[in-house]
Amino acid sequence: MSDHSHTFTPPSPERLTHDLDRVSKISLAIGVIALISSAVGGYCDRVQALHSYLFAFMYFYTIMAGAFFWTILHHAVDANWSVIVRRQFENVANLMGVMAVGFIPLFIFREDIWKWTQPSELAHSVLLQEKHGYLNMPFFIVRLIFYFGFFTGAAYFYRKLSTAQDSDGSIVHSWRLRWWSPLSIIGFGLAITFSALDWLMALDYHWYSTMWGVYIFAGSAQSSMATCILIVFLLRKAGYLKPLSGEHAHIMGKLLFAFTVFWAYIAFSQYMLIWYANIPEETVFFIKRNNGSWTYLSVFLVAGHFIFPFIYLLTQAVKKSWASLSVIAVWILFMHGVDHFWIIAPVVRPDGFSMRWTDFTSFIGLAGILVYVFIRILGSAGLFPARDPRLNDCIKLTN
């Protein structure tokens, strides 16, 4: 506190100097092998393997969408504190292109995942005929194009202007990014809501909840904050991003805490209202998950996704240390997986909790490929926006 220097020199730009080429290639190899084993698994049991894959896909998709959310939020509120970590959000959000390619198997085998896409289902289900105006193939494709087009395009735009500023230092980029951010929030809101409706809620086309989009968004923002905390922690361990202090960790910890509580608020409200009203077409979702051995997972979800991180993050000291913060970040990323497993798996495993080896191979497969691409993206530009006009304010931050 006492040694605030008044002559402030901005930190010099940093680039990745470690050679991660080998690491990235090993990661790619592991990813490809794991995905091939998933394909083999799919040959044995297509429905289960596809749901495993959907689980892995949604896990990473929500993290990337969340990273995009934090990027545009930074610009919309014109924040100081997040300048130096913003590049990592931009990097994660730019993995969305991989997810667009990763959707191809889901699209090809859609009839095994979303029952409403089967023509025979449409023929005999009166309910589905009622919903045909939304649940039809042409509109589904239009929406797909919107989700991936919006996310990849906008994420690319935000990173491109940000890296352009690294080279020319013009403040115009900051202003343009801020100008676009409120509109991007609207696009983001629509994309995350309706993709959550299309890919998760429509797993059972009978079921519906107006809260669903908000629920997926809450977990998405929370887990992507955890991801970024972890990335920053690793980069700092490797000797980068040294201007970041415990004050920055504190803010990220507070936001992680806030979204832990927000997720719980949304999850509780959704559960309680459905439980209380007890209408058959709504309770079907929770009955599947609150019966048999799935009950234990539901209880674990409440304890692990909310109660434990809530208590852990309550004290200030924990939030001010990157090390203790990254411990809970890993835990939250694990629980984010549990959350999506809890959403997807009971649909095809009604008899009770069970895990297939394809759950793991799909997850490792996508993770391997994403790590490979992420390292490429990480190395292709500076590790933080070195010429952002708010960088000084960011580094001088005190809570």
Partner 1 sequence: MATNFTPEVEAYAKAEMTRQPLVLHKRDLAWVTQKICGIVEEPTPTWWWIAFLITASLSVLTVGGVAYLISTGVGVWGLNHPVGWAWDITNFVFWIGIGHAGTLISAILYLTRQKWRTAVNRASEAMTLFAVVCAGIFPGVHVGRIWMVWFLAPVPQANAIWPNFRSPLLWDVFAVSTYFTVSVLFWYVGLVPDLATLRDRAKTKLRKWIYGLLSLGWRGGNRQWRHYEMAYMILAGISTPLVLSVHSVVSFDFATSVIPGWHTTIFPPYFVAGAIFGGFAMVLTILLPFRAIYHLEDIVTVKHVEVMCKIILLTGTIVGYAYLMELFIAWYGANPNERYAFYNRALGPYWWAYWSMMFCNVIAPQFFWFKALRTNIVIVWVIVQFPNIGMWFERFVIIVTSIHRDYLPSSWGMFHPSITDILTFVGTFGIFLTLFLLFVRFLPMIAIAEVKAVLPQADPHHHAEEETHVHSSQK
Partner 2 sequence: MSILAKNSEGQSVEIYAIGAEFPSAAAVFEAAQKVRDQGFKWWDVYSSYPIHGMDAAMGLGKSWVSAISLAGAATGLTTAVLLQTIPSVFIYPMIVQGKPYFSLPAFFPIMFELTVLFTAFATVFGMFTVNLLPRLHHPIFNWERFCQKATDDGFFIVIEVADPRYSETDTPKLLESLGASNITLIPRD
Residues forming contacts to partner 1 in the complex (CB under 8 A) are 4, 6, 8, 10, 78, 127, 130-131, 133-134, 160, 163-164, 167-176, 178, 182, 186, 189, 193, 208-214, 254, 261, 265-266, 269-270, 272-274, 276-279, 281, 387-389, 391-392, 399
Closer of 4 and 124 to partner 2 (Cβ): 4
- For the bound state, the minimum distance from the C-beta of residue 346 to partner 1, rounded and expressed in Å, comes to 19
Q: Which of 129, 167, 291, 316 binds partner 2 (CB under 8 A)?
A: 316
Contact between 278 and partner 2 by CB under 8 A: the answer reads yes
Q: Is 295 in the site for partner 2 (CB under 8 A)?
A: no
**Cβ distance to partner 1 smaller for residue 118 or 392:** 392
Structure tokens at 119: 């023509």
Q: Which of partner 2, partner 1, none lies near 2, with the C-beta cut-off 5 to 8 A by kind? A: partner 2
- Least Cβ distance, residue 253 to partner 1 (angstroms): 13
In the complex, least distance from residue 153 CB atom to partner 2, rounded to whole angstroms: 42
- Among 107, 139, 175, 268, indicate the residue that binds partner 2 (CB under 8 A): 268
Say whether residue 141 binds partner 2 (CB under 8 A). Answer: no
Nearer to partner 1 (CB atom), residue 359 or residue 388: 388
Shortest distance (Å) from residue 290 CB to partner 2: 11
Q: Is 2 in the site for partner 2 (CB under 8 A)?
A: yes
The listed partner (partner 2, partner 1, none) that binds 376, CB under 5 to 8 Å by sort, is: none
Residues binding partner 2 (CB under 8 A): 1-2, 268, 271-272, 275-276, 278, 316, 398
